[in-house]
Amino acid sequence: MNTYSTAPTALPLESTLTATVVADHQRPRFWQQHFGNIPQWFLLETRVFNWLDRLCADYHGGQWDFYTLSNGGAFMAPEGDERWSLFNSMNGNGAEMSAEAAGMTACLMAYSHHACRTESEAMTEHFYRLREFALHHPDSRAIFALID
């Protein structure tokens, strides 16, 4: 489980967002469970793969972990501890980041574009839940340079 502190709210204590890896037996229903009320939700996984392929010349497929967030969000990321080099030709920004951050970046891009395509408020909410988690991730600067 990964834990990052969020910025203080009106309360004096900081709240904590956590990411929990989805167990193997729960993976088959992950997309339906978290995104099933969103039009064309079944396209999201492929679109995330395609975004990482577009952003990372060294990506050639592989195993991915699924995560749920304590704020109701969800995302996926390639397995492993290696660093990834990503480049967004649409904004000219590149960055090195963890596999988890690379997955979050690909998900944020896919979620944003899917929200625009479907005009789904629920998809927009998923984007912002993941964005909130990304704001406090150790690779947050790299993530936001790429999605900007």
For residue 42, the enclosing domain spans 23-147
- Tell me the angle at which helices 140-147 and 121-134 cross, rounded to the nearest 10 degrees: 140
pTM value is 0.88
- Could you write out the DSSP letters of every residue in 76-104? EEESSS-EEEEEETTTTEEEEEEHHHHHH
The structural domain count of the chain equals 1
- Domain membership of residue 9 (yes or no) is no
pLDDT in the model for residue 49: 97
Of the chain, the end-to-end C-alpha distance in Å amounts to: 27
Residue-wise pLDDT for 113-123, tens only, equals 999 999 999 99
Query: Is there a domain that residue 59 lies in?
Result: yes
**Does residue 113 form part of some domain?**
yes
**Does residue 58 lie within any of the structural domains?**
yes
Q: Per the structure block, which two tokens stand in for 105? A: 């970046």
**pLDDT tens column, 46-100:** 999 999 999 999 999 999 999 999 999 999 999 999 999 999 999 999 999 999 9
Q: Is residue 78 part of a domain?
A: yes
Q: Domain for residue 15, yes or no?
A: no
CATH of the domain at 60: 3.30.70.3580
Amino acid at 88: N
